[in-house]
Chains A and B, each alone.
Chain A
Amino acid sequence: MSTTTLLSVPVVLPLIGAALSLVLSPRPAVQRVLGLAVLTAVLLDAVWLLLRVDAADRLVLHAGGHAPPLGITLVADRFSALALLVAVVVCLAVMLYAIGQGSAEKRIENVPSVFHPTYLVLLAGIALVLLTGDLFTLFVGFEVMLMASYVLTTLGPTVERVRAGMIYVSTSLTATILLLTTIGLVYALTGTVNLAQLADAVQQLPAGLREFLGLILLTVLGIKAAMVPLHWWLPDSYPAAPAPVTAVFAALLTKVAVYAIVRTQTLLFPRDEPWVLLLVLAAVTMLVGVLGALVQDDLNRVLSFTLVSHIGFMLFGLAMSSVAGLTGTILYFVHHITVQSALFLVAGLAERRRASTALSELGGLARSAPVVAVLFLVPALSIGGIPPLAGFIGKLGLLQAAVGGASAGVLVVAAVALVTSLLTLAAMGRVWLMAFWGESPREEPDGGSGTTTATRRASGLMTTAAALAVTAGVALAAAAGPLSAYAGRAADDLVDREGYRAAVLGEGAAP
């Protein structure tokens, strides 16, 4: 077995686990252990990949030994290895939380629980998108991920979830079919879907066609990434899902699409100048998102709008078209995955206490649930960009890149980014005022002596899992030095298109 075989583990192992888990659905305890075991194995594999890739730049696996363009190519470089590691950590925290909540084992109308199998399929899809080396497998990875997410969104269908599911599935399917059409057009124009071969083939096309392909790829992936003006579906669908599901969606699904945008744009459509269109889109995304967050009355909807807003920061780094900008994007990417999952998990904790996520019905949580308050405060300050938390490091990276580039357009967007940071802080402050300070509008349903020990223990695991997600964010800040250096090397790799091509095509099927 060659070492690169381990590249396929994050995709293959969760799929095998999912199949086993489905068979084991009459035994929820075994399912839980299996899910945790698979995630732990993938986590170890992701750590190994990160260490290997940092030493060897890129790892390539041609599945079945078929050389490109015939076979499926898996490629890990520094960006994808880092993204995979953070994704698996978040998945693990969310799974612990889901087990704690007991939602994982809930049977609906005598149908055995499908949470665990579906969750593992979701991870396989995410890993496939992050590791793939060709456009069609990227599409398949997205589909695997989305199919799992459709099931998770509509688990236990209430009126609200059916409505959210309709919007979410329709929007995603629209993006899916358009992405498929785009792949058809790319194949018609170039005769390949392998990213390494496309990097060269796209450059041979006339400038107009090249620009067109770049724009439709940005559009279809922009729907999945919730880039304004293609964001409308997100705040309408995410909040309806169960808390752990919302957390993993918010943390990973849009970010995976951002990853795909960064990968395709840097590899296929390299730019020397800042990209004005994407700069404008990034600025609009930041502002529309954060202004939406300021007026919502539902905690989950506030968080969904900040999620949209901060997609703009990642696009901003890409739009600068410089190594420094991409470094900022990668730092922000990692920060945002951890912080969003932490915030949604804590929102779930608050919801469990008060059986509501409406800000006007929370209130006084800081006194009645100080642990929840602290767990909320840390990621909230981080997403607002307060030093020394991880959000500050990501924003600092982006702003330094913007000042270093010294182009007027970039500086304007940098100013917008600063304003957005302040407004995000205001939105988080508003949540703090309404939900954590003040008087509790009503008695807690399960407060006091009425709490059974079983519920309390489950909540303990949930709190631990949320604390794990928060700690992951703090750890990023603590490791800021090595992380920034690593992100810099990852950004160098993204720009080094020749290196990518040589790694995928040159060394070929060598074992």
Chain B
Amino acid sequence: MSAGNLTLSLLVGVLFAGGSYLLLQRSLLRVVLGFALWGHAANLVLLVAGGPAGHAPVAGETTPEAAADPLPEAMAVTAVVITLAVTALLLALADRSVTLRGDDDVPDAVEDALAGGDDRGSMEETR
């Protein structure tokens, strides 16, 4: 197994740390940005997993030994598409939340706060 790229590995750590901080925020927009950082981190992990850089893996142009490993790159492309689609969906949700409630904060559950008490009246008040 080849020695990993230290810079990329450290970058993965930084991206995961920054993303985690953003994920813990109330505003959905920040959460989306956090997921964007996480998505990049995961793709870099796939890139590092593919080993050292090489030539473009096109049959007839390079030998298999000199070519970069194409499999993790194919995976990364799939992952990019998925992250893009979910990000778009989350942004749409944030937009809908602003339309309906005026902000894009993730609200608390009313039921959790009231679990155990059967006082329906107070629940209506909280709502």
Contacts and interface: CB of A to CB of B under 8 A. Distances in A.
Interface string A150-174: 1100100111001101110110011
A183 to B, nearest CB: 7
A296 B111 contact: yes
B120 A358 contact: yes
Interface of B: 1, 4, 23, 28, 31, 35, 38-39, 41-42, 45-46, 48-50, 71-72, 75, 78-79, 82-83, 85-86, 89-90, 93, 96-97, 100-101, 106-107, 109, 111-112, 114-116, 118, 120, 123
B115 A295 contact: yes
Contact of A162 (B4, B45, B96): B96
A180 B86 CA distance: 14
A361 B123 CA distance: 13
Contacts of B114: 297
Given A162-B96, A298-B111, A360-B120, A185 B42 contact: no
Given A157-B93, A163-B97, 11 more contacts: A69-B71, A166-B93, A173-B86, A174-B38, A177-B35, A177-B39, A184-B72, A187-B49, A296-B111, A297-B115, A360-B118
A188 interface: yes
A154 B42 contact: no
Nearest to A186: B49
A140 interface: yes
Given A140-B78, A166-B97, A188 B49 contact: yes
Nearest to B94: A166
A185 B49 contact: yes
Contact of A181 (B23, B45, B115): B45
| Most chain B beta-carbon neighbours within 10 Å: one of A163, A167, A298, A360 | A163
Given A159-B100, A159-B101, A174-B23, A183 B38 contact: no
16 contacts: A140-B78, A147-B82, A158-B100, A163-B97, A163-B106, A166-B106, A169-B90, A169-B93, A173-B35, A176-B82, A180-B46, A185-B49, A187-B46, A188-B49, A236-B109, A297-B115
Interface in A292-337: 292, 295-298, 301
A143 interface: yes
Interface residues of A, number: 42
A136 interface: yes
A163 B4 CA distance: 42
A136 B77 CA distance: 12
Interface string A353-369: 00000101100000000
Given A166-B106, A296-B115, A184 B48 contact: yes
Contacts of A163: 97, 106-107, 109
Nearest to B44: A184
A76 to B, nearest CB: 23
B111 A157 contact: no
